[in-house]
């Protein structure tokens, strides 16, 4: 906990009114989208400049105060939750786009730039920022970098990491580092930029990021396909990938569709109901591409892998089909889901899902289990919904027990216990299922280099 005198000192380091201690601010800024840990920060500070961030970090070192970075607070692993009297450092006021270079196709962003703002900026320049997910309207670039956010276009464009040309960071000891200087080619030793991507704020703060942009896609077209069982989805992926450059390949179960249709604001794709659905997207650059998509669809129907399907004919239809997938997370958040975000190599997905499904069916017979995710890149979201009658603590305790069996299976497949949501606090105790002891020791040693006093987001990724 910080003392009143320490907070008075902190107030002198930032603009007037930019340290908040009222309960509403502490509650709002002390948490992300997870509901497992109660927020309990001491204060929230809003720097406006890099120098102010440095001053805050020096103050924290001097007074041994833990800092928690806060962006759009849309995280799903409690990496931005301050549950132990930490000071939250919010980047809400460092939210400007500072520069654009059309030759480099790059944009210099402050960390608080909202993802959708960067996407819109790119579009206005006739370009494209391809990292996309349902929380793009609130998530911030700094947070995306902290988790190496993925989303729905990874199959074609990769994760956030692929789009970071350069970073300015303030390390846990208050030093300002300029990493990679936006170069495409740079063979001068360790690429420290990469260490800060996905570090969940445990090494320092990202205070500026140069993000790359891409050619804007043309005539994006989506198909939603009804499949009779899970095993049919992978041959469908394989068939379409053989003929088209897909920009997305997602899946969701019938239970997810039930929840989406119950909202009343998303049209059903077709009458047919099957246990699983695939959503794929491609650029219909010309008639030949659209023709190849339809021919592949017919082939999949002939093989019995697909029972019904629809292809978007307009932008409105494209948006409506995407809502079937994109609205799932927010729609089910009402039931306090326990979220698993696991991945294996694409070829192993069918066997892996069958094994996990068997565990879930035996250990969660009374719970609602929803599958969806980015199956084209091997990332499955397994969501267990809390029954209304069960207390939150009891529910999470039961999920923690089943987790052990789920994560043993992940380990057996050499998979990841967190594909894109990060480790934070929710997956911290399971890190050993995806990383060896030697690896974790290296990670801790790296942290000690950048954050010798352990003030940067302690207790995230690994326990203190
Ligand atoms: C998604 O794929 O919808 C996001 O990762 C969020 C979630 O898993 O709920
Ligand atoms: Zn996802």
Q: Tell me phi and psi for residue 426, to 5 degrees.
A: -70, -30
DSSP 408-452: HHHHHTT-BSBSSS--TTTTGGGGGGTS-HHHHHHHHHHHHHH-T
Q: What is the pTM of this model?
A: 0.97
Give the Å distance between the CA of 40 and the centre of ligand 2: 28
Residue 267: closest CA among 196, 213, 322, 228:
322
Q: Give the residues surrounding ligand 1 with Cβ less than 6 Å away.
A: 133-134, 328-329, 339, 381
Beta strands in 54-190 (DSSP E): 67-70, 87-90, 97-101, 106-109, 127-128, 164-171, 176-179
What domains appear along the chain, each with residue ranges and CATH number? 4-93 (3.30.43.10), 97-215 (3.30.465.10), 220-329 (3.30.70.2190), 336-422 (3.30.70.2740)
pLDDT at site 94: 98
Which among 32, 35, 75, 76 is the best mutation to test ligand 1's pocket, defined by most ligand atoms within 8 Å of the CB? 76
Atom of ligand 1 nearest to the CA of 372: 2
Q: 19 C-alpha to center of ligand 2: Å?
A: 34
The alpha carbon of 36 and the centre of ligand 2 are apart by a number of angstroms equal to: 19
Q: Which of 134, 150, 326 has most ligand 1 atoms within 8 Å of its beta carbon, as the pocket-test mutant?
A: 134
Residues of the chain with pLDDT under 50: none
Residue 278 is inside which H or E element, if any?
A: strand 276-283
pLDDT in tens, 351-371: 999 999 999 999 888 899 999
Q: 344 C-alpha to center of ligand 2: Å?
A: 14
Place of tokens 């998303």: 266
CA distance 205 to 456: 8
pLDDT value of residue 58: 98
User: What sections of 138-200 are H helices per DSSP?
Assistant: 141-147, 154-157, 192-196
Give the distance (Å) from ligand 2 centre to CA of residue 341. 7
Q: Give the pLDDT confidence score for residue 364 in this predicted structure.
A: 86
CA 382/CA 230 separation, integer angstroms: 14
**Per-residue pLDDT tens over the stretch 10-29:** 999 999 999 999 999 999 99
**How many residues are recorded in the chain?**
464
Ligand nearest to the CA of 325: 1
Ligand 1 mutation target, pool 35, 154, 328, most atoms within 8 A of CB: 328
**Confidence at residue 366, expressed as pLDDT on a 0 to 100 scale:** 86
């Amino acid at each position: 906990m910080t003392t009143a005198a320490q907070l008075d000192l902190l107030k002198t380091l930032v603009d007037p009114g930019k340290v908040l201690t009222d309960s509403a601010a502490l509650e709002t800024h002390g948490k992300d989208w997870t509901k497992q840990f109660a927020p309990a920060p001491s204060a929230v500070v809003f720097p406006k400049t890099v120098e102010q961030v440095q001053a805050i970090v020096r103050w924290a070192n001097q007074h041994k105060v833990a800092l928690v970075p806060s962006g759009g607070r849309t995280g799903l692993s409690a990496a931005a939750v301050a549950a132990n009297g930490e000071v939250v450092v919010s980047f809400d006021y460092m939210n400007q786009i500072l520069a654009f270079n059309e030759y480099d196709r790059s944009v210099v962003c402050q960390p608080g730039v909202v993802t959708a703002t960067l996407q819109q900026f790119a579009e206005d320049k006739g370009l494209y920022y391809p990292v996309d997910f349902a929380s793009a309207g609130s998530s911030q670039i700094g947070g995306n970098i902290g988790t190496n956010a993925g989303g729905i276009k990874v199959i074609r464009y990769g994760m956030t990491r692929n789009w970071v040309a350069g970073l300015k960071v303030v390390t846990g000891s208050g030093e300002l580092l300029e990493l990679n200087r936006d170069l495409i080619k740079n063979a001068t030793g360790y690429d420290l930029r990469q260490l800060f991507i996905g570090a969940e704020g445990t090494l320092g703060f990202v205070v500026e990021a140069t993000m790359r942009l891409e050619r804007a896609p043309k005539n994006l077209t989506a198909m939603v396909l009804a499949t009779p069982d899970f095993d049919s989805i992978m041959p469908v992926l394989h068939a379409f990938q053989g003929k088209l450059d897909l920009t997305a390949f997602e899946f969701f179960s019938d239970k997810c569709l039930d929840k989406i249709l119950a909202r009343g604001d998303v049209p059903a794709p077709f009458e047919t109901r099957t246990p699983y659905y695939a959503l794929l997207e491609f650029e219909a650059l010309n008639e030949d591409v659209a023709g190849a998509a339809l021919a592949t669809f017919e082939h999949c129907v002939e093989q019995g892998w697909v029972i019904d399907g629809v292809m978007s004919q307009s932008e409105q239809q494209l948006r409506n089909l995407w809502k079937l997938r994109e609205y799932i997370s927010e729609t089910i958040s009402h039931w306090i889901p326990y979220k698993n975000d696991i991945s294996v190599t694409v070829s192993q997905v069918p066997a892996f899902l069958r094994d996990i499904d068997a565990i879930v069916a035996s250990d969660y017979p009374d719970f609602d289990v929803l599958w969806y995710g980015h199956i084209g890149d091997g990332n499955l979201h397994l969501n267990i919904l809390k029954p209304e009658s069960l207390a939150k603590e009891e529910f999470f305790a039961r999920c923690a027990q089943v987790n052990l069996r789920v994560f043993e299976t992940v380990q057996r497949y050499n998979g990841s216990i967190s594909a894109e949501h990060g480790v934070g606090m929710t997956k911290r105790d399971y890190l050993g299922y995806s990383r060896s002891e030697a690896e974790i020791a290296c990670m801790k040693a790296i942290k000690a280099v950048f954050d010798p006093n352990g003030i940067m987001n302690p207790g995230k990724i690994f326990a203190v």
